[in-house]
């Protein structure tokens, strides 16, 4: 074989194996996916946060890749997590809204026959574990994580109990276990700490011979705002303006700003400890760690600048509700300091995980693997024709589409809004009147991107 043919053959092999050749063999990496709950794009240091300290999350960004155009599956928790697990956007997903926002007010779970990323990775020989907030088994039946590809589960099946940090019960696999807690009094074991302990236990029993997938879905910093005092202390003598919090469904601590900062920093501290454990176990170099959030922030009114330059927050389909932080570290594959403007979303994770594991997805997916973007290989990275979202709570049904630099938002019964994100990332200037043909194109994309679902009709529900 001459040199040219040799290089061509070698290139084909590398492409087929994802470029992963270590010590003369191809190895499947471990995957740790860390999901924050209601953390805004601007709540982390690598995206400009100056008040809240997130050094360990920032290290993931510094030592790996940052995606500046990554989007959540939805602007609220349930459908966003469905998109992440099933690889479908909310125009095709089985869960398109939070539990009671359905045609009959009854919760809908992911379908029994619908493959999840965990089920896909099981086919590739992965051990799998989910810890934290699942939120896709409201009916406590076929959609429990242990019935959807996860070997182990510890946390919340449903949304409601996940609103509290001192719950009286959590789930271990398919059974509830009691905790020595008083929820309203906020006494006992802080559930975030239990999630971290479970993650430690799981990682501690892993080895280099068997790849694993850990889905660590923290509930920080979702309402309610409460955290042990030691996490507030670094922020209590900075002269911050106070924000008193009222008790209701959520048993908030009295002061919001120091509590919110303390919650995020506690999560950051524990992520740092997890990274150290991976290193101690000799697993860190061949482990892909992804950190992101399920949707935009809920708490901030400007003090933390949680949404950065973006308009809106949780429950909006403007950028502040769906444009989220994303950092990924994988020393064997990702060059430190990689920064990508590749446009990606939650439904891309399933095909990405399959790509990395060396299998073809069985799931019908709206996603595109972003593995090449992680490696900084922009030429080889495929792009979406568009990204699509829909959402239907009190403000009535609304749709959004992003295509290249263009973003459109349309509330049912109202004219479409059009924005050029390259010039107006804050979506301040609706230019639909200046570009009527582009606006029409975006309307067509909205109409063609969804299938009808009797559980989620495109009409006002309440």
Q: List the end-to-end C-alpha distance of the chain, in Å, as a whole number.
A: 70
Superfamily of domain 26-384: Alkaline Phosphatase, subunit A (3.40.720.10)
Reported as type and span, the H/E element at residue 394 is none
Residue 193 to residue 171: CA distance in whole angstroms: 15
- Specify which residues 401 forms β-bridges with: 388, 408
**Is 390-448 a CATH 3.30.1120.10 domain?**
yes
Question: Do 223 and 202 form a contact (C-beta atoms < 8 A)?
Answer: no
Q: Is the pTM of this model over 0.85?
A: yes
Q: Judging by beta carbons within 10 Å of its beta carbon (0-12, 13-18, 19+), is residue 105 exposed, middle or buried?
A: exposed
CATH 3.40.720.10 domain extents, the chain: 26-384
Per-residue pLDDT, 462: 83
Secondary structure class of 244 (helix, strand, coil): strand
CATH 3.30.1120.10 domain extents, the chain: 390-448
Residue 235 to residue 55: CA distance in whole angstroms: 15
Residue 403 to residue 446: CA distance in whole angstroms: 11
Reported as type and span, the H/E element at residue 152 is strand 152-156
The alpha carbon dihedral of 334, 24, 204, 198 has a sign of: positive
The per-residue pLDDT string of the chain (462 residues; one tens digit each, 9 = 90 and over) reads: 333 333 333 333 343 344 444 333 358 999 999 999 999 999 999 999 999 999 999 999 999 999 999 999 999 999 999 999 999 999 999 999 999 999 999 999 999 999 999 999 999 999 999 999 999 999 999 999 999 999 999 999 999 999 999 999 999 999 999 999 999 999 999 999 999 999 999 999 999 999 999 999 999 999 999 999 999 999 999 999 999 999 999 999 999 999 999 999 999 999 999 999 999 999 999 999 999 999 999 999 999 999 999 999 999 999 999 999 999 999 999 999 999 999 999 999 999 999 999 999 999 999 999 999 999 999 999 999 999 999 999 888 999 999 999 999 999 999 999 999 999 999 999 999 999 999 999 999 999 999 999 999 999 998
Per-residue pLDDT, 374: 98
- Tokens representing 42 are 């601007």
């Amino acid at each position: 074989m001459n040199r040219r043919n040799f290089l061509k053959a070698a290139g084909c092999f590398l492409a087929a194996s994802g470029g992963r050749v270590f010590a003369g063999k191809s190895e499947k990496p471990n995957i740790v996916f860390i999901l924050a709950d209601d953390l805004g794009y601007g709540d982390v240091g690598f995206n400009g946060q100056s008040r809240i300290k997130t050094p360990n999350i920032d290290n993931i960004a510094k030592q790996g890749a940052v995606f500046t155009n990554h989007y959540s599956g939805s602007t609220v928790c349930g459908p966003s997590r469905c998109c992440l697990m099933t690889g479908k956007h909310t125009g095709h997903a089985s869960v398109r809204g939070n539990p009671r926002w359905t045609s009959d007010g009854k919760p809908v779970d992911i379908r029994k026959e619908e493959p999840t990323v965990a089920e896909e990775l099981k086919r590739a020989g992965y051990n799998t574990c989910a810890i934290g907030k699942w939120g896709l088994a409201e009916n406590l039946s076929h959609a429990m994580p242990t019935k959807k590809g996860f070997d182990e589960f510890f946390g919340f099946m449903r949304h409601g109990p996940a609103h509290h940090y001192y719950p009286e019960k959590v789930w271990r696999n398919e059974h509830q276990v009691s905790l020595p807690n008083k929820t309203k009094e906020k006494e006992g074991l802080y559930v975030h700490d239990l999630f971290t302990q479970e993650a430690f236990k799981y990682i501690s029993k892993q080895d280099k011979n068997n790849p694993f997938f850990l889905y660590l879905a923290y509930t920080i910093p979702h309402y309610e705002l409460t955290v042990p005092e030691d996490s507030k202390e670094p922020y209590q003598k900075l002269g911050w303006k106070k924000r008193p919090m009222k008790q209701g469904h959520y048993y908030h601590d009295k002061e919001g700003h120091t509590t919110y900062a303390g919650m995020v920093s506690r999560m950051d501290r524990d992520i740092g400890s997890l990274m150290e454990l991976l290193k101690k176990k000799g697993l860190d170099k061949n482990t892909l760690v992804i950190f992101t959030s399920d949707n935009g922030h809920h708490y901030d009114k400007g003090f933390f600048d949680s949404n950065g330059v973006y308009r809106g927050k949780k429950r909006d389909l403007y950028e502040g509700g769906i444009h989220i932080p994303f950092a990924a570290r994988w020393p064997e594959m990702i060059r430190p300091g990689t920064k990508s403007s590749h446009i990606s979303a939650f439904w891309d994770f399933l095909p990405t995980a399959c790509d990395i594991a060396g299998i073809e997805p069985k799931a019908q997916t709206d996603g595109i693997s972003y593995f090449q973007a992680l490696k900084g290989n922009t030429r080889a990275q495929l792009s979406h024709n568009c990204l699509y979202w829909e959402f239907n709570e009190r403000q009535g049904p609304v749709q959004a589409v992003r295509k290249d630099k263009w973003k459109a938002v349309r509330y049912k019964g109202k004219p479409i809004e059009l924005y050029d994100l390259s010039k107006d990332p804050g979506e301040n200037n609706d230019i639909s009147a200046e570009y009527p043909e582009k606006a029409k194109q975006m309307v067509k994309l909205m109409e063609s991107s969804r299938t009808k679902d009797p559980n989620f009709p495109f009409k006002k529900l309440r």
